Structure 1
Amino acid sequence: MDDRNDLLPEIRDPCPVADPFPHRHVGERDVHAVAPVLGPFLDAMPAAFCLLDEDWRFRYLNEAAERLLQRSRAVLHATSMWDAFPGMRGGVFEASYRSAVASGEPVTFEAAHPGTGHGSFEVRAWPGPGGVAVYLLDVTDRRRAQDTARQVVERAALLAEVRAELAIAQDTESALARLARLVVPTLADGCIVTVVDREGRVHDIGSWHADPGRRPLMEQYAQVRLDTLPSASPVARALDAGTPVTESVAAVLDLMVPGPARDLLVRLGPSSATVLPLTADERTVGVLTLYQDAGRTVPAEDLATARQVASAAARAIARVHRQSQQALLAEALQRSLLTEPPDLGSTAVCARYVPAAEAAQVGGDWYDAFLQRGGDPVVVIGDVVGHDTEAAAAMGQLRGLLRGIAHYSGAGPAEVLRGLDEAIADMHTDTLATAAIARFERTGDGEPGWGRVRWANAGHPPPMLVAPDGAVQVLGGPDGDLLLGVDPGSIRAEPVVAVEPGSTLFLYTDGLIERRDRTIDDGMDRLAGLLRALAGGPLEEMCDAVLARMLPATPQDDVALVAVRLSAGPG
């Protein structure tokens, strides 16, 4: 058996083993002639090669096969492959070999050879009349190179997706919450995203796990973990020091007190946790917690990618903080230009202003309510075209101009709008605005209350008059007359409508009724239905309910409204 050619007679034995190179015209003498050459040739092959007879016994192995199987051919000769390597039963090797013998067709597949300690192999099996010839080529390096290339592509795609998601998202906090889904499973088996708000409060805003069965556990854990994590935990240390922390989960469990958070972490079963701080503007604005199951390690390339993800997330959080601060300043500026409505005695006036959710969107929406020189109440709603500081500045000036013109002149709504239009043409030539103005009047001398309303509209959404019984009257068409800033000589209508005590006049800007997913007519119909249902209730509650039901959670436009409810007594 020590001679490498000792087993070659088995090759030319017509039964039970097939000739690996079958040529029916080759004679017995020719086979004897090639046998001394064939043995050294097969042993010189870089791939493992062996012959199995019809009972799956080894009949020949070359030297590469001996090295692969880590046993000599003397030991394996005439031994059943299934007995020598029981780990091959029931797997891809047995299924493929038996398929080749049953079909008579060669098979090719890639797999890790069980029990050899080697990597991946390309396996080819050729069936013959008396058994099967098997060829195994080590493709571990090729597979490793393919896996490396695939991981490089996955990491690059992940970074591109994260940056795009955080850059274009209108709701940045929601995008940050989805960040956990992006990094799993490329960088971790589980992930929790944590942010620190401007007041220093820490919140877990998103979680995900590669195992769908553990996602509910991860979500529950994210809801309770921050309440119980000790100061020595990796999350606390990363938040305090601003440096990455990697720790075994067993060590974290030793720090935690008994309770729901500890029980959930045990059930989740991760092996280790890596916490990366999200640092921007020299402060830690959050952390990214990556959980790894047992058997998974974090290579340096994955860790570098995770740090880049953390850096992108930190910039997004810092942007939210800056926008939040700018939004507060913008809202303060806007509100400083909107005075409280006057006291009209028993006639109730309610005004509301809601800024856009996205920060720094200083708008041109305004409202006003005042008494003219003759004592008649006037209410105004307006909107300067644009969403920037110029629009806000123009809004403040137009509001002051309109109030001054109306108070000094004592003119009706149409004449007041004409005077404002001329002022715009002379002093604010690049400004466009819409406005609706209404004046409450007595029906005759000595009348105790306001019995009619006179109004004019310059391109603004039409006011709505709500009767005490809930009937809603839309004052004018959906567009009104020409907006301000286009033609100061435009002739404006000035209708008059009778009102009964207890009626409510409701004026609003377009942000209340406009949505991307519906028409303005749909928005107006919905508003009219709400006013109809809310008629008769307190005016403040009516305005608050309209805003709550009409506006989305994150308004995309400023909204201003002013409502007046008439009483039976004098103003």
Structure 2
Amino acid sequence: MTEIPGPVPPVSDHMLGAALSDAILPVFVTGTWDEGMPVLWVNAEFTRTTGIHVDELKARGTHPLLSLVGADPDREPGQTALREGRPTERMIQGLRPDGAIGWWHVTMSPIPEDDGVVRHWLGAATDVSSYVERHAAQLASLEVERRERADLDLVAQTTELLGDLEYPYALRDIADLLRALVPWAGFYLNDDGLVFADGVDVASPPSGRGRRHARYVPETPVLARVGGPPPVEPDVHGQNPAPSVDQVQDLLDGVTDGPVLLELDGHYPAHSASGWLRRDLVRRVVEETGAVPRSVVVHAVAGRRRVLGLLVSWHGAGLHLDGTPASGAGATPSEPQHVFTVVEVVARRAGTAIDNARLYAREHRLAEALQRAMLPEQAEVPGLDVWTYYAPNAEHAQVGGDWYDVLQISDGTVGLVVGDVVGHDVEAAAAMGQLRSVVRSYAFELATPGVVVDRVDQLVTGMRIPRSASMVYATLQQGPDGESWDIRYTRAGHLPPLLLRGGQVTQLAGAGGSLIGFGSRPRETARAELRRGDVLLFYTDGLIERRDRSLKVGLDALVETSGRITARDAAGVGEELLSRLADAPEDDVALVVVRMPDPVADGEVQPLSPRSRRWLLPSEPPSIGRARHAVLRTCQAWGLPESAAAELVVSELVANGVLHGWGNIALRLFDTGDGLRIEVEDSNPAPPVTTDGHPNRLGGFGMQIVERLADWGWRPAGSGKLVWAKLRPTD
């Protein structure tokens, strides 16, 4: 370090005074605290900065710049320091010469004299207005960013809730989220009238447009005030036409886009949408918050073609029940626009989600009805025990392209089809229906399976069905001695059927070929034989296909499982396969089980098969006989003694379903350990009734028969009902 040579000259009072006078910071000198700290001297920069000369300060007393240092009780630490003669610093606010508000960083330092007594204070002020403003702008920017993040997070949470509208309280939870912004919010859906909604019934169609007013007067404000006369333009005659008396109804009708401001202290026609909504809101909000809102904002929850409902939010203060003012937490009508924007975004997204969910549900019901209509019900083939099963994958909207068919071509000849169309939508179901019809037509016309599929190839190529498909078609012809059936089959890109015989499993892998419509050469026909006690399995890949294994591994698992089956009836074989292989299927499952009964061997050993069975029967009189045969076979397979009583009960329950129901009839049997339980489900929601018979005609005693033999009851199921009966143990 280089030292300055020679002695350092002392700073004279003149030099110090000149330095303070010419300093670029406002500098001033005051008296003591006890004297009120009067301003005794200021430099030129102080006068330039504040526009006030020292003489004016003396005349006016303490400058406002300095009065803030010691006058505010909140600045007690600064006052104490000044009283005790210690240095202090403060951030203070003051007026600039142009009247603008400025910020200064003020320091006050005591000037002790030779005797150590402080009789003067030296003050210096630094203009930090630009720093304060910059800091305030940064804080405001951070607050805007925080608010935007919170808004985005709220919208994201509502979007997640809207993604699962099957949850019964989705709309209620969304309204609860909105209450982070407003004191109260709630949804109303226009489902057969305006109703408050906690959730969405996706199966409920919207009630459509309500009544329209003969004349509607447009309003200029964004928020149209309901309950008071809106500003309107004079008509051609210079008169103001009458405004709409029910703008909430106009919002529902799509006449106006909204939102509208509903004044809850207004008067409305008793049967108007505005009047009903006002009454319901006052009651509901008072019950939930204890305050009476003065007005609410009503947003339209709009779908693609119609308004599906309303999102109502309370944005302001109201009155407690005792009449005292109640300041509502959250926004007010003069709040930042972002609150209205968030509520509007939620309303739009809710409308789109509800519309999509209902459209999806309608498409699902349409495709399922189309698919179910084209799938055959449980078939009854003389000389064979036939059981069928179909279940579309729940992940694919209960719609699939798998199908099966059991055709009684002639006495002693049966046609069996199992196929799979690519896809899980209405188009796949429609393609499946077309193929089913084509195969049926040629099956009754031609006898050889290979020839049938050749003709199907030709017709499908001309029809240009957009989906590829696989299929197995087989015919079973009873032998002349009745001891066997001749199997002839062909495969069009489909997995091989299985033949189960005495614990051995054979894959019927012959006569393979390409997918339907892609055959380049004549289809082959292979042969096999079905003997007493044998089981024939037709299936689709959904039974064995899994993401974590190859199709070959799944086929090997099916072969291994089939070899361990002990059931002695077709339904038992099917139930055993499903319980072991299809507990969580990843695709549609179609299964056809054909067994040739063996009267001698079937009664020798009691098999350990699943103690439940199911059938799907058409709503037609022959189903009554099929149900009786199914119960008899099941009681024989399970070794149950009450087969006669079970036959009577199931006959009456299925007969009631045929006579009074519609659609398909589902029959289920369960061995409960202390009696057989029978369940019959149909599409008629009306409950069964025990009567004393029909006057002047036969019948009407069916449920009395059921009541004598079993305990019974019923419950709603889907769109219909399920009737159950549990047989009483025999003595």
How would you bin the TM-score normalised by the shorter chain?
0.5 to 0.7
Deviations 1:42-66 (A, max 9, x none): 89999xxxxxxxxxxxxxx966655
Q: Quick one: structure 1 residues 431 and 349, their matched pair in 2 at CA, closer, same or farther if it must change by over 3 Å?
A: same
Alignment-mate amino acid for residue 566 of structure 1: M
1:433 corresponds to 2:437: no
In structure 1, what residue type is equivalent to 2:79? Answer: V
C-alpha separation between the residues in 1 aligned to 2:48 and 2:281? Answer: 52
From 356, 366, 390, the equivalent of 1:353 is 390
Is the 8 Å Cα contact of residues 431 and 465 (structure 2) preserved in structure 1?
no
Alignment of 1:517-556 (within 5 A): 518-524=549-555, 527=558, 535-536=566-567, 539-540=570-571, 543=574
Q: Which amino acid in the other structure matches residue 505 of structure 1?
A: L
- Name which of 444, 457, 481 aligns with 2:491: 457
Are the structure 2 counterparts of residues 385 and 199 from structure 1 closer, same or farther at C-alpha, using a change threshold of 3 Å?
closer
Structure 1 residue 319 displacement after superposition: 1.5
Aligned match of 1:89: none
Q: Which whole-Å CA distance do the structure 1 matches of 2:517 and 2:573 have between them?
A: 33
**In structure 2, what is the equivalent of residue 485 of structure 1?**
517
- Per the alignment, residue 422 of structure 1 pairs with 458
Q: Aligned letter for 1:568?
A: D
Residue of structure 1 equivalent to 2:662: none
Write the distance in 2 (CA, Å) between the matches of 1:487 and 1:399: 18
Partner of 1:151: 147
Task: Determine if the alignment matches structure 1 residue 476 to structure 2 residue 506.
Answer: no
2:199 aligned counterpart, secondary structure = strand
Distance 1:564 1:519 in 2: 27
Counterpart of 1:399 (choices 433, 436, 457) is: 436
Q: Note the C-alpha offset of 1:157.
A: 6.9
| Shift in alpha-carbon separation, 1:359–1:318, aligned structure 2, 3 A | farther
> Helix, strand or coil: the match of 1:151?
helix
What secondary structure is seen at the aligned counterpart in 2 of 1:329? helix
Q: SS of 1:195's equivalent? A: coil
Counterparts of 1:211-226 in structure 2 under 5 Å? Answer: none
User: Which structure shows the bigger proportion of residues in helix conformation?
Assistant: 1
Q: Which residue of 2 aligns with 1:568?
A: 598
Q: For 1:38, which of 21, 27, 37 is the aligned residue?
A: 27
Match of 2:483 in 1: 448
Matches within 5 A, 1:188-207: 194-198=198-202
Cα displacement (A) at 1:143:
0.9
Residue 81 of structure 2 corresponds to residue 77 of structure 1: yes
Partner of 1:230: none
Could you give the per-residue CA deviations for residues 41-95 of structure 1, whole angstroms, max 9, x where no partner exists?
Answer: 689999xxxxxxxxxxxxxx966655887448983335799xx9xxxxxxxxxxx
What is the identity, as a one-letter code, of the residue corresponding to 1:144? A
Percent identical across equivalent pairs? 27
Q: Structure 2: state its 5+ residue gaps.
A: 1-7, 29-41, 51-64, 89-102, 108-123, 187-196, 206-272, 316-326, 601-628, 630-731
What does 1:96-175 align with in structure 2 at a 5 Å threshold?
A: 138=132, 139-152=135-148, 154-156=150-152, 159=155, 173=166
Aligned to 1:106: none
Q: Return the TM-score normalized by structure 1.
A: 0.56
Please give the alpha-carbon distance, in whole angstroms, between the structure 1 residues aligned to 2:357 and 2:46.
Answer: 69
Are residues 1:282 and 2:323 paired? no
Offset at residue 503 of structure 1 (A): 3.8
Equivalent of residue 330 in structure 2, options 297, 305, 309: 297
Per-residue CA distance 1:135-194 (angstroms, 9 max, x = gap): 99643453123312442355357647866x689x6x664799699699969956999994
User: Are the equivalent residues in 2 in contact too, given 1:162–1:179 (CA < 8 A)?
Assistant: no
CA contact (8 A) 2:387 2:571 kept: yes
d(CA) in 1 for partners of 2:313, 2:155: 15
Structure 1 residue 246 displacement after superposition: 9.7
Deviation larger for 337-346 or 460-469: 460-469
Q: Is the 8 A contact 2:390 2:589 kept in 1?
A: yes
| Structure 1, unaligned runs of 5 or more | 1-23, 47-60, 85-120, 126-132, 202-236, 256-272
Report the Cα offset of residue 435 of structure 1: 0.5
Given the superposition, is the C-alpha separation of residues 394 and 65 from structure 1 closer, same or farther in structure 2, using an over 3 Å criterion? same
Aligned-residue Cα RMSD (Å) equals: 6.0
The answer (yes or no) to whether the contact 1:461–1:509 under 8 Å persists in 2 is yes
Does the Cα contact within 8 Å between 1:356 and 1:558 map onto a contact in 2? yes
Distance 1:370 1:25, change over 3 A: farther
Corresponding residue number in structure 2 for 1:316: 353
Structure 1 Cα separation of the partners of residues 351 and 383 of structure 2 = 54
Alpha-carbon displacement from aligned partner over 1:270-329 (angstroms, at most 9, x marks no partner) = xxx999995654344999999xxx996245523530331233123212211222122112
Q: What TM-score do you get using the length of structure 2 for normalisation? A: 0.46
Q: 1:361 to 1:289 in 2, by over 3 A?
A: farther
Deviation at 1:458, TM superposition (A): 0.7
Distance 1:304 1:166 in 2: 19
Inter-CA distance 194–543: structure 2 relative to 1 (3 Å threshold): farther
Distance 1:287 1:347 in 2: 64
Q: Deviations over 1:316-359 (max 9, x none)?
A: 12211222122112211122222224311352222233345478
Partner letter of residue 517 of structure 2? G
Alignment partners' CA distance in 2, 1:552 and 1:179: 34
Task: State the Cα distance separating 1:459 from its structure 2 match.
Answer: 0.5
Which residue of structure 2 lines up, in the alignment, with residue 105 of structure 1?
A: none
Structure 1: distance between partners of 2:562 and 2:422: 27
2:475 touches 2:489 (CA, 8 Å); kept in 1?
Answer: yes
Question: Do the aligned partners of 2:537 and 2:593 also contact (CA within 8 Å) in 1?
Answer: yes
Q: Is the 8 A contact 1:285 1:317 kept in 2?
A: no
Q: CA separation of 1:122/1:448 partners in 2, compared to 1, >3 Å: closer, same or farther?
A: farther
1:367 is displaced (CA, Å) by 1.0
Residue by residue, what CA displacement relative to the aligned partner does 1:98-144 show, whole Å, maximum 9, x if unpaired? Answer: xxxxxxxxxxxxxxxxxxxxxxx99999xxxxxxx999964345312
How many residues are paired up? 434
**Bigger relative contact order, structure 1 or 2 (CA pairs below 8 A, ≥6 apart):** 1
Matched, 1:381 2:381: no
Alignment-derived partner of residue 366 in structure 2: 329
**Does the Cα contact within 8 Å between 2:367 and 2:429 map onto a contact in 1?**
no
- Largest Rg, 1 or 2: 2
Residue deviations 1:180-234 (CA, integer Å, cap 9, x gap): 6999699569999942214669xxxxxxxxxxxxxxxxxxxxxxxxxxxxxxxxx
Give the aligned partner of residue 536 of structure 2.
505
Whole-angstrom CA distance in 1 between matches of 2:561 and 2:68: 84
- Distance in 1, Cα, partners of 2:105 & 2:551: 67
Question: Within 2, Cα distance between the matches of 1:134 and 1:282?
Answer: 64
